[in-house]
Structure 1
Amino acid sequence: MLLKNLLESCAKYIECGNISAADSGLARISHLASSEGGPIERLSTYFSEALASQLLSRSYHHGARDVLSKPVSALEHSLAKSLFFELFPFHRFSYAVTNQEIIDAMIGLQGIHILDLSEPYDATQWILFMQSLKDHRSSSSSSSTRPPQLPYLKITCVHTNQDVLDQMRLRLTLEAGKLNFQFKFHEIVSSLENLNLDNLPICNGEPMAISIVLQLHRLLATDDPPVSVLVPNNHVIIMNQSPDSALSLATHHRFTQSPIPKMECFLYGLWKLQPRVMVMTEQESNVNGRSLTDRVEKGLHFYAALFDCLQDSAPIKRILVERGMLGEQIKNIIACEGGHRKERYETLKAWIPRLELAGFRGAEIGLEGMSRGLMELQDYTRNYRVIRHDRSLFVCWNDIPLVSVSAWKYL
């Protein structure tokens, strides 16, 4: 509680321009925090570093990007992503639920086109999908007098890394050959922010499904309005900070004739693709507020649970994930502003009206999808549990929701 109170106090001092008090608070934290201690001690090391960077950016009028410590290497980040997949159940749970929802939405159809906007680490999700689809078709054909048709599967994957796309193409093509699928893989090297949905290789009337895992929140960074911030000596600088919810901004633009926010345009563009189902997985947290103090308070609540999840993991793996991935996210949430702050998690409660505004209708995740997801949790500690609420699923650590999985349809 002392570390938590000190971190929140430092955030308040930074916001009101009390540099001396903030600096003293960070000095106290440095004596209590430890990258090798318990969850809150380890967590505090990353929050204190992020606050120090935010403090420097305000006191010297530089953007936070100019004073952040040296980022982790691409190799370390890649290793951290693979370990995140191994140590946390979120991706495996999401893949199982998403795959089942797509299969359920495509019953009776021979052709399927999947748009993958998740920037996946590898081809795992779609290899599992092919195997599940093959099993489903086999069981369906066994009760039919007609010979089964070869299923046609097309996957369009959007990713910033060409090497990952090349590896996915190779693995998926080999798996499709083993399973006797007709298969096409389209690769698009792009970030979500720069993706032109009108240029996707989609044919008219093609049955479409969309998968987005822990990525959509990054688009919120493109809609920041500039606001003034008080810094020492009563100077005022302009820093881009997020509104508490981009939905309010979207509504504002509708009535003021201002440019339509990027998020609203993107979701509407996805709706125009007329997907039979879109499954979205997002962090169930709200660290996208305007206030630094609010981001620190809610970030501590969310990441304390994540660090607690890792407590029983092998120390070397835990350190790599905390430094190479979770720590970088914390620094981005706390130290960065404007378009440089990409990690902008919002709760499903905020996403629902945003998606409905774009034209989507919420769909209930089926019991089979939930069952598949629960099977993936069996390899992890019993502290994980799943809550079903408002037609969606929430993966929780004890009573703290960490990830939501929701399904959406065109009509």
Structure 2
Amino acid sequence: MRAGGPPELRITGIDLPQSGFKPAGRVEETGRRLEKYCKRFSVPFVFKAIAKKWESITLEDLEIQRDEVLVVNSLYRLGNIPDETVVPNSPRDAVLNLIRRIRPDLFIHGALNGTFNTPFFVTRFREALFHFSSLFDMFEATMPHEDEDRKLFEEEVYARDAMNVIACEGTERVERPETYKQWQLRCVRAGFKQVPLDQEIVKIVRNKVRSEYHRDFSVDEDGHWMLQGWKGRVIYALSCWKPTKQSVK
């Protein structure tokens, strides 16, 4: 047992504001579910909800306490932030610069590995077709047609995202993924260095996928990225970063 009991867990949840009179309603509901979970294990818990565009958040909004271990966890959402093809001063770079200024002990970055963010429609349509075909094929091979969760996900997530990629332009197109190699360049340019993957964890994940999941799922490495794919196509990429010493001075 830890002397003094479990440490306090503080989480700041960030989401885009919803329309209506409760702009932070969705992220606040997440906080309530987390609070119930922490109570089950007697973990002191504090949750702060922020409903703003990521690029408009300031350091003061986050209420950082320098005596705590700080982790920034961003899974597959940075690709929804406008890039320099929409706004001259890239909001993506602004968010990465804010994360660097926070000086986290660890920045966990999960990226949707997409190549359908080109302004040229035909190219974007073709790349989106390849991407979403892989996702639907994955469901077809692993879930029955009548599965309600599958129907919900296909109709409410995949169909919505595909429609946004194909039918929308300018600020209305919010699905703007980049490849993990493009994110590599952005993160390095913003003043981060990658943390090597724990090879024991990678081995455990690979063995689990091989023994318990469909044979067409894959887990690979490229540099310090862990790549998750289907039938040889990389769908998601995950890596960990820290600010360089020079960048936090």
TM-score over 0.5 for the pair? yes
Is 2:183 the partner of 1:351?
yes
Is 2:13 the partner of 1:151?
no
Identity %: 22
Shift of 1:151: 1.8
Higher relative CO (Cα under 8 Å, sequence separation at least 6) belongs to: 1
Shift of 1:379: 4.9
Distance 2:207 2:72 in 1: 23
Distance 1:303 1:261 in 2: 27
The equivalent of 1:196 in structure 2 is 58
Q: Counterparts in 2 of 1:315-354, with a 5 A limit? A: 315-316=145-146, 317=148, 318-354=150-186
Q: Is the 8 A contact 2:83 2:91 kept in 1?
A: no
The equivalent of 1:383 in structure 2 is 216
- Give 3-state SS (helix, strand or coil) of 1:220's partner: coil
Task: Tell me which amino acid in the other structure corresponds to 1:202.
Answer: I
Q: Is the 8 A contact 1:277 1:408 kept in 2?
A: yes
The equivalent of 2:69 in structure 1 is 207
Aligned residues: 234
Is 2:36 the partner of 1:174?
yes
Q: Is the 8 A contact 1:176 1:182 kept in 2?
A: yes
Gaps (5+ residues) in structure 2? 19-23, 245-249
Q: What is the root-mean-square deviation of aligned Cα atoms in Å?
A: 2.4
- Give 3-state SS (helix, strand or coil) of 2:140's partner: coil
Q: Could you say which structure has the higher helix fraction?
A: 1
CA deviation profile, 1:345-401 (whole Å, cap 9, x unmatched): 111111111111111111112134435644774653221110011111010102111
Q: Is the 8 A contact 1:221 1:339 kept in 2?
A: no
Shift of 1:302: 1.3
Rg bigger for which structure?
Answer: 1
Distance verdict in 2 for CA 1:149–1:410, change over 3 Å: farther
Q: Is the 8 A contact 2:83 2:92 kept in 1?
A: no
Gaps (5+ residues) in structure 1? 1-137, 142-146, 226-258
CA deviation profile, 1:309-338 (whole Å, cap 9, x unmatched): 011422244443222211111111111111
Distance verdict in 2 for CA 1:400–1:282, change over 3 Å: same
Q: Is the 8 A contact 1:384 1:395 kept in 2?
A: yes
Task: Tell me which amino acid in the other structure corresponds to 2:155.
Answer: R
Distance 1:293 1:370 in 2: 37
TM-score, normalization by structure 2: 0.84
CA deviation profile, 1:159-208 (whole Å, cap 9, x unmatched): 24534333333332233233232221111122324433442121234321
